Chains A and B, each alone.
Chain A
């Protein structure tokens, strides 16, 4: 009886890693937490967006029709609710404000109108009521000067000047999605990388790797482990990102543009590139240790690079996406998987830079995977003490 082919053996190794991880309590707990975080990212903005402000205007008798119509129109645009409370007299209207039943009491009309505003009310609603009263008075004056209602309506329907937000990025909402993608990528790389390191060190310390290497080639064991644990990491990322993406794409109380759909898809590509880049390095370094507890110390340099890249992404890149540091960080292969998605979401990156960055990262990933295979093949078979990186590379 001979062993399986290269791919069959690799698939069996990755399948076992998936089943083992899937059934482990720690994986279930972490995945559950990430799913909850993902769901929270949809639910919380919706809950917050449901809390629309509401105001009540108390008037002596029925509110003036023009004031009521203007306030209701502004309320629809400004996303607040307005209601009206007709009072028997001036004193009753003011009393309604004092009792908290109304926000403002409008007493009098025209130039003699007075607004009794509940303390603690912001400036927005009183200003809007004042503008409505003023508009009503202006319309009255225009009517008295002989203008027809159509002419008055034309004068008063002059649109307000358009508002164009000017920021450091093209679209704040899109940039926010970019930041979120960066955070998810960072968590995914750290969690999955650590899981791969732990899996490799466990197999080595329990000598399971020796049994497997008697029937499999080191590359089969390495690729199978990386694939298996990588798939588990992808599921965790999906648990966090899919609900968040659904929330973003369905509006979910967030103000994001359509380009964010493409940005999220691009983030998935960057996750795969980042995983290929870092996963083999994590596995190779973990193959050098003798005990599972040593994985943390041996992978510290890689973790520092990932943390540094993330900090660069959320600080320099977020505020100055076209600064030299941001451009360099998004092109340098080791930091690109974390920096470029955030920078790209600024909407200020030329497409050729994105292509170059992906090309450089893919090339570096292939080179690192080859180097990691060499280190892994030597590290995994040396037991009794921690193997130095130089030893694994030299002979």
Chain B
């Protein structure tokens, strides 16, 4: 098994006058859950559609196991688009059977595989139910089933958590973790950066069609050189003691808590002591920056014009 299964190099694409991808790079390792993160309009969906061959990029290269990807390679991938890619009036079982047949399974094997997947996804009793009659969470699971029906080499999921309630998010997260533990390779996109922070092992952040940050999540957060002090304060507690620490940046200010960005030269314990001196501290902790904060920093850096030497 190669160290990288899927690689995109310098992908660019335009829709008329609008540039959707501007030389984006992506690396996906086998058996890893990789997050493709970025705000709405960053180019995530376009990148995924290019990877899947739904659109042909204007420039750049896509490699599968370090050689140019082919149509046959892509037929062994699974894809779940952002919006429902399901026939609303088709029964759940027929939906999966149809997808399995499109991927080359015979009629009997396709039906058997569909039953097996519905059972696995907790939808065994919904075989004959029309898709539009299922709840949003069930439809999402069914759609995941459609992407997995042919036991793909890699599963590509576009915004799988969009529109889901917390319970459905947790269910889907568990399902994805289980698959990665079983050796599957999963790529998912999300604009909810903090939601997938604990789910993805590796991430690629893109903004305005460019890669702004990439790597292992834990490594990126630890190597950022930034720490955050979380303080629980009494309601209405003063904040004026912060004036004594001009290098400390207030990241979040809530009614009963603050989150402070602590630079390397400032002792976090000194800040904690100052807070305690000003009033009661109900809770405290030292955190690494969130993916959102890392993204904002990376995006700002990428947006700064290059200075000529």
Interface residues of A (CB under 8 A from B): 1-4, 9, 12, 16, 20, 23-24, 206-208, 210-217, 381-382, 391
Contact = CB atoms under 8 A, between A and B. Distances in A.
A22 to B, nearest CB: 12
B77 A214 contact: yes
B75 interface: yes
Question: In terms of DSSP, what is the predominant structure of the interface of chain B?
Answer: loop
Given A1-B75, A207-B85, 4 more contacts: A2-B76, A12-B101, A24-B89, A206-B88
Contacts of A216: 102
Interface stretch (B51-59, B120-128, B260-268): B51-59
A382 B76 contact: no
B101 A4 contact: yes
Contacts of B84: 206-207
A3 B100 CA distance: 9
A197 B30 CA distance: 41
Contacts of B85: 206-208, 210-211
Interface of A is mostly: loop
A206 B83 contact: yes
B203 to A, nearest CB: 23
Interface in B194-219: none
Contacts of A12: 98, 101-102
Contacts of A24: 89
Interface in B74-92: 74-77, 79-90
Q: Count chain B CB atoms within 10 A of each CB in A24, A208, A214 and give the residue with the most.
A: A214
Contacts of B52: 210, 213-214
Interface of B: 15-16, 49, 52-55, 71-72, 74-77, 79-90, 98-99, 101-105, 146-147, 150-151
Contact of A4 (B15, B81, B86, B104): B104
A325 to B, nearest CB: 41
Nearest to B87: A208
Given A1-B150, A3-B75, A381-B49, A212 B102 contact: yes
A210 B81 contact: yes
Contacts of B77: 214
B102 A20 contact: no
A389 B52 CA distance: 25
23 contacts: A1-B76, A2-B75, A2-B76, A2-B104, A3-B102, A3-B103, A20-B87, A20-B90, A206-B87, A207-B85, A210-B52, A210-B54, A210-B79, A210-B81, A211-B99, A212-B102, A213-B52, A213-B54, A214-B54, A215-B103, A216-B102, A381-B49, A381-B55
B121 to A, nearest CB: 17
Residue of B89, B104, B147, B150 ringed by the most chain A CB atoms within 10 A: B104
Contacts of B150: 1
A1 B98 contact: no
Nearest to B54: A213
A214 B71 CA distance: 9
Nearest to B146: A211
A213 B53 contact: yes
